[in-house]
Structure 1
Amino acid sequence: MEHGEKNITIVDDQGNEQLCEVLFTFENEEFGKSYVLYYPIESKDDEEVEILASSFTPNEDGENGELFPIETDEEWDMIEETLNTFLADEDEE
Structure 2
Amino acid sequence: MTTIALEKAASSLAELAARVEGGETIVLTRDGKPVLDLVPHRRTPGLDIEAGEAFLRARGITRSSGFIADDFDDPLPEDFLIQPLSGS
Q: Which has the higher helix share?
A: 2
| Larger of the two Rg values belongs to structure | 2
Q: Which has the higher strand share?
A: 1
Fold equivalence (TM over 0.5): no
Identify the TM-score tier after normalising by the shorter chain: under 0.3
Q: Larger relative CO (CA 8 A, sep 6+): 1 or 2?
A: 1
TM-score (norm 2): 0.21
